[in-house]
Amino acid sequence: MKATAKAPANIAFIKYWGKRNAKLRLPMNSSISMNLTEIFTITSVEFDVKLKEDLVRIDGKVVSDKEKERVVKHIERIRRLAKVNLKAKVESRNNFPKGTGLASSASGFAALTLAASKAAKLNLTEKQLSILARIGSGSACRSIPSGFVEWRAGNTNESSYARSLHSPDYWSICDVIAIVGRKSKKVGSTEGHALVESSPFFKTRLSGMKKKVDEIKTAMKEKNFSKFGEILEEEAINMHSVMMTSKPALYYWTPETLKIMLKVIEWRGQGLESYFTIDAGPNVHIICREQNVDKIKARLVRFVGIKQVIINYPAEGARIVKF
């Protein structure tokens, strides 16, 4: 009983930051994202009578007890659903550094959910997979459907899941990621989410979310890139303002992060249109039209001194690659 799945990381244009139910990972607000072609996780899960305990390896290494516990808890959910009693061997590989805010938990839990449920011979729908992935790691629910995705917040386990708004070939926009940090972040998103209500700005943020989600969906529908970009950039600053005013304060940016943000604004003033967004880490995602990718890459290397740049196109959601 073995299956291997591949799932993309995703970049949120409208962010998920704060949960209304921590156990079920129900978010405070809906979010909008795009799956990424070049950063992904491939995970195989094998249920085997010969195993005496669950084994978990990520990127070739045995994981810490804390990480293992989170993975095993997820496998447990799937075992319960499938009425399987066998122990599992989980092998997972990321093609990017884990824990740097490049959404390794999103691609990781999406791939794990699909591989484990298939190995356990469960035939789940996309909606069921998205719900299950969400309980493992919130943003993982958005890595299940394809392309441009909306995670409707919902207010129950059954109503909080992601669905595709547009297929990957709908819009040729790119996410050029400037990698500025490779170290694992100090405060992970699970702890970060729990702090949102300590920010005096969180209530204000939340009150504007519905309108923002509607506006960005309209901009996507009309392929109005400038409007879309304005909204997503403002949203990233909005979320980081909450992070920086939480108690304790969370600073995910480094001086390099800010340097790139300012350059993006400067380049835009010169007619090279792109917009930035940043997740819970120092790396900057520069969202642009496909025809501007090479120019942006060249400028990142020349003016900012960034050595690693990852160019992503809109990607398909989680897929079984071997069964």
φ/ψ (deg, to 5) at 248:
-70, 160
Question: Position 39: which residue type?
Answer: I
Q: Interface residues for ligand PMV in 180-199 (CB under 6 A)?
A: 189-190, 193
Compute the CA torsion angle 170, 176, 181, 182 (nearest 10 deg).
60
As a whole number of angstroms, the distance between CA 182 and CA 250 comes to: 18
Nearer of residues 3 and 250 to ligand PMV, judged by Cβ? 250
Q: Are 218 and 230 in contact (CB under 8 A)?
A: no
Task: Kindly indicate which of the ranges 15-23, 152-160, 208-216, 221-229 contains the residues binding ligand PMV, using the contact rule CB under 6 A.
Answer: 15-23
Tell me if 16 contacts ligand PMV by CB under 6 A.
yes
| Interface region with ligand PMV, contact rule CB under 6 A, candidates 69-77, 137-145, 208-216, 264-272 | 137-145
Nearest one of 105, 91, 118, 265 to 184, comparing CA atoms: 105
Instruction: Give the binding range for ligand PMV (CB under 6 A) out of 66-74, 136-144, 173-181, 205-213.
Output: 136-144
CA dist., res. 84 & res. 100, Å (int):
35
> Which DSSP symbol is given to 85?
-
3-state secondary structure of 285: strand
Please state, in angstroms and rounded to a whole number, the distance separating the CA atoms of residues 185 and 99.
6
* Nearest distance from C-beta of residue 32 to ligand PMV, angstroms: 9
Among 92, 137, 277, 292, binds ligand PMV (CB under 6 A): 137
Please report how close the Cβ of residue 193 comes to ligand PMV at its closest, in angstroms. 6
- Which residues ranging from 277 to 296 are in contact with ligand PMV (CB under 6 A)? 279-280
Tokens 């899960």 found at:
45
Binding segment (CB under 6 A) for ligand PMV, from list 8-16, 169-177, 195-203, 210-218: 8-16
Token reading at 236: 């990233």
- Residue 117 in contact with ligand PMV, rule: CB under 6 A: no
Q: In the chain, what is the straight-line distance between the N-terminal and C-terminal CA atoms, in Å? A: 9
Three-state secondary-structure class, residue 65:
helix
Distance CA 174, CA 274 (A): 10
Residue 56 C-beta: closest distance to ligand PMV, Å: 18
Among 4, 100, 139, 164, binds ligand PMV (CB under 6 A): 139
Reduce the DSSP state of residue 115 to 3 states and report it.
helix
Closer of 84 and 239 to ligand PMV (Cβ)? 239
Measured from the CB atom, the residue of 4 and 105 that comes closer to ligand PMV is: 105
Stretch that binds ligand PMV, among 10-18, 45-53, 66-74, 302-310 (CB under 6 A): 10-18
139 φψ region: left (φ > 0), alpha (ψ -120 to 50), beta (else): alpha
Residues 21-80 that bind ligand PMV (CB under 6 A): 31
Q: Taking CB under 6 A as the criterion, which residues in 94-113 touch ligand PMV? A: 105-106
> Does position 15 bind ligand PMV by CB under 6 A?
yes
Binding residues for ligand PMV (CB under 6 A): 12, 15-17, 31, 105-106, 137-139, 189-190, 193, 279-280
